[in-house]
Amino acid sequence: MVDIIKEIDKQVRELLPPESMITAVEAEGPEIVIYTKNIALFLDDESLIKMLASKLKKRFIVRSDSSLLEDPEKAEKKIREIISEDAGLERIVFNPTFNEVIIEAGKLGLVIGRGGETLKKIVKETKWVPRLLRVPSMESSIMKGIRDIMIKESQDIKKNLKKTGKRIYRIPSKSTDWIRITALGGCREVGRSAHLLETPETKILIDCGLNVASSNPELAFPYLDSINFSLDELDAVIISHAHLDHSGFLPYLYNYGYKGPVYCTPPTRDLMALLQKDYIKVIAKNAKDAPYGEKHIKEEIKHTITREYGEVTDIAPDVRLTFHNAGHILGSAMVHLHIGEGAHNLVYTGDIKFGYTELFDPAEVRFPRLETLIMESTYGGVKDIQPPRYISDKKLIETIKETINKNGIALIPAFAIGRAQEVMLVIENYARQKGWDIPVYLDGMIKEASAIHTAYPEYLKSSLQRKVLHNNSPFNSNIFQEVDPKQREVIIERGRAVVISPAGMMNGGPVLEYFKALAEDERNTLIFVGYQAEGSLGRKIQRGVKEVALENDKKVESYQIKMNVKTIEGYSGHADYNQLLGFFKKLSPKPDRVLLVHGEESKCLNLARNLSYKFRVEANCPRNLDSTRLK
C-alpha cells in the first residue's frame, strides 16, 4: 500500500538539489513541512518552494533542523538587535515544537523589513523561523489567552496536525460518484446554520451554529442527531464566520467525540471563542445548562487551522478549500470547495454584504469555477431595501442629538461584532468633524471585539486599515468609554449619553439592564440598527408592543415601553434585496443551481422565484433535513 506522505517525501528530495540538505518531510495538517540543514538556500532562492508547490500541488513551508537552532537566550538577544526599536516589539517566545520563534509587535512591517530582509536576517543568524503576530492597539484578553494556548499546548497541537495530515493525505478508497449536501439547520429560518457535505470518501460540516433567539432545544440546535455516523468520521468542520448562529454549537462537537480540524480565518478563530465564552456566561446567568464548557472551547482552539482569503488548501483527499471575502464581519468568508478533482465546485456564501460599509470591502464575486451556490436570503423579500448609507448616518446622528437635547440616553442594542464597530465609526467620524464630546459607553464585549479588529487591519477596507496601521485607530477615540458593570447605575442617572451594548436582538446581555431602567422614561430612545430575528425580544419591541415582562432579581416584572423606539435601516451586515440580486448579477461564473438558506421562509421563496425569473437559474429553498444531490 502506497504511503502518500512518504511518496511526497521522495518527490521533494528528487526535485530539490542535494545542497538543500533535507532531514525530514512531514505533513502537519494540510501543509507539508520540510526540515533542512541549509535554510539559507531556501531564503536566497524563493523559487524552490514555488517550484515544489507548482509541481506537487501542495502547500510547503520550510523550517530549520532542530540541531541547528541557536540557544533561545542568545537568539532573543540577536533578534532584539536586528529588529528596529520603532517596531513596538512586545514579546518574543520560542516554540521548539515547531522550531519557530513567535514575535509579537505593533508594527509588523518593520519586523519584516524591505523585501523581507529583516526576517531573512533573523532566520540566517538564529535558524529559528519567525511567526509574526500583530499586537492589538487595545488590550485583548481573549487574544492573549488564545496565543498562550497555542504556545503552551503546542505539542498537542502538533499531534493533532499530524493526525489531520494523515487523514488528508490518505489514499482515496472510493471515486467521487456522487456528491450531496444535507441541511442540518438554517433553512427557511435564521439561526443554527449547519450543512453536511458528503462524497463516498469524505464528510465535511459547513458551519455549526445555534439559534440564540430560541430557548427550545428542538429549535435552537442543529439536527446533528440525524446524521447516521459517528462524529469521528467527520473529515473537517468549516466555519464561515464567528456569529453564534454559525459557530455557536461548534464546541459541542468536542464535548461529544469530535477530534478533527476546524478551518476558518484567523479573526474568526478569535472572535468565535470570544462569543462562545460569553454564551456560556449568559446561559449560566439564566440558571440553565450550556451544551459545552470552556474546556471544549479550548479543544476547539487547539484543533483550529486558520487560512487567509485566497489560500487554496487540501482538507480531504477529494476536497480543496478556499476562503473569499464575504464583507459581513471581520474575517467573514465565503467558502469555495473544489470537489473530486473538478467533479463539482460549490460556493457557500455564509452571510454576505454587497454594499457600502465603513469596515469592509463588498463580497467577492469572482471564482475559478462554480456549479452550485448556497446563498443567504436574510433580506430576500422585495420590500427589504436598505436606504443609502448617508441617509442612515444622518438619521442616526439626528436621533442621538434629539435624545441628548432632552437629557435622555440613546440606547443602541448592537451585535458586539460588526454592528457595534460600524456604528462606532459613524459616531467617531461625526464627533471628530464637529468637536462633539458626548460620551459613548461601550458595554459587554464591544471593546474586546474592537481590539481584535485592530489586530487584523488587513481584513479592513484600505482607508480604515491605514488609520489602524498609523496608530490613528478610530476605535481608540477618547469619546468611547468601556463600562464597568458597577458604573451602569451612574451612567443611567447622569443621562445625556450614548450606550452601545449587546445583545443585538435583546435576547440577553447588559442591554437588558439598561432597557429595564430606561424603558419607562420618554426622554430616552431605543435605536435598532441590526436584524431582529423572529421570536427575539428586539423583534417584539420593533413591532410595537407597549409592555414586556422580564426577569429582575429572580422575579418577573412588567415594563411599560414609554421610551422612543426607532429602527434605522442601513447598518445591517447582510446584503439587502437589491444587493443580493446585484451580487448574483456580477457573480462569475454563474452557477447551474442555487440553494437559498438563512432567511425566513417567505424571504427564501421570494428570492428563489426572482432569481429563477431574472437569471433563468434553478433556484430552490431546501427545508431542514433535506438532502440535495449535487452530482
- Only one residue has cell 464637529, namely 434
Could you please state the CATH topology (level 3) that the domain comprising 4-67 is classified under: GMP Synthetase; Chain A, domain 3 (3.30.300)
Q: Model confidence at 358, in pLDDT bands (50, 70, 90)?
A: very high
Please give the order of strands across the beta sheet that includes 236-238. Answer: 304-306, 262-264, 236-238, 203-208, 194-198, 180-185, 627-629
pLDDT single digits (tens) 48-102: 999 999 999 999 999 999 999 999 999 999 999 999 999 999 999 999 999 999 9
Cell reading at 66: 532542530
d(CA 189, CA 178): 28
pLDDT of residue 2: 56
Residues of the chain with pLDDT > 90, as a percent, come to 90
pLDDT single digits (tens) 207-240: 999 998 887 888 999 999 999 889 999 999 999 9
Close Cβ partners of 28 (under 8 Å, ≥ 6 residues apart):
158, 161, 162, 165
DSSP SS3 for 185: strand
Return contacts of 211-219, CB within 8 angstroms, 24+ apart: 211/185, 211/245, 211/533, 212/244, 212/245, 212/248, 212/279, 212/503, 212/505, 212/507, 212/508, 213/505, 213/507, 213/533, 213/534, 213/535, 213/536, 213/539, 214/535, 219/192
Taking the C-alpha atoms of 97, 98, 104 and 110 in order, what is their torsion angle to the nearest 10 degrees?
150
Cell reading at 511: 442591554
Burial class of residue 386 in the structure, from the number of CB atoms within 10 Å of its CB (0-12 exposed, 13-18 middle, 19+ buried): buried
pLDDT single digits (tens) 385-419: 999 999 999 999 999 999 999 999 999 999 899 99
d(CA 22, CA 100): 18
Name which of 626, 627, 533, 624 is nearest 223 in CA terms: 624
Q: Where are the domains of the chain?
A: 4-67, 85-135, 154-383+574-629, 389-567
**Amino acid (one-letter) located at 393:** D
Close Cβ partners of 275 (under 8 Å, ≥ 6 residues apart):
242, 243, 244, 247, 248, 416, 417, 445
Name which of 318, 288, 177, 186 is nearest 241 in CA terms: 186
Q: Model confidence at 1, in pLDDT bands (50, 70, 90)?
A: very low
Q: Is the N-terminal amide bond of 413 cis, ω within 30° of 0?
A: no
In 3-state terms, the chain is what percent helix, strand and coil (to 5)? Answer: 40, 25, 40
pLDDT single digits (tens) 301-353: 999 999 999 999 999 999 999 999 999 999 999 999 999 988 899 999 999 99
Query: What is the β-pairing status of strands 333-339 and 344-348?
Result: antiparallel
State phi, psi for 441 to the nearest 5 degrees.
Answer: -95, 130
pLDDT of residue 216: 85
Class for the domain spanning 85-135: alpha beta
d(CA 322, CA 302): 21
- Only one residue has cell 435576547, namely 507
Average of per-residue pLDDT values in the chain: 95
Model's pTM, two decimal places?
Answer: 0.95
pLDDT of residue 534: 82
Decide if 578 contacts 603 (C-beta within 8 A): no
Close Cβ partners of 477 (under 8 Å, ≥ 6 residues apart):
428, 431, 432
pLDDT at 563 over 60: yes
pLDDT of residue 555: 86
pLDDT of residue 594: 98
Burial class of residue 62 in the structure, from the number of CB atoms within 10 Å of its CB (0-12 exposed, 13-18 middle, 19+ buried): buried
d(CA 105, CA 455): 10
Same fold: 4-67 with 85-135: yes
pLDDT single digits (tens) 606-624: 999 999 999 999 999 999 9
pLDDT single digits (tens) 419-456: 999 999 999 999 999 988 889 999 999 999 999 999 99
pLDDT of residue 530: 86
User: What mean pLDDT do residues 495-520 have?
Assistant: 94
The verdict on domain 389-567 having CATH code 3.40.50.720 is no
Name which of 320, 296, 318, 300 is nearest 310 in CA terms: 320
d(CA 131, CA 61): 12
Phi-psi region of 508 (alpha: psi -120 to 50; beta: other; left: phi over 0): left
d(CA 574, CA 357): 11
**CATH of segment(s) 154-383+574-629:** 3.60.15.10
Of 209-218, 363-372, 481-490, 496-505, least confident by mean pLDDT is 209-218
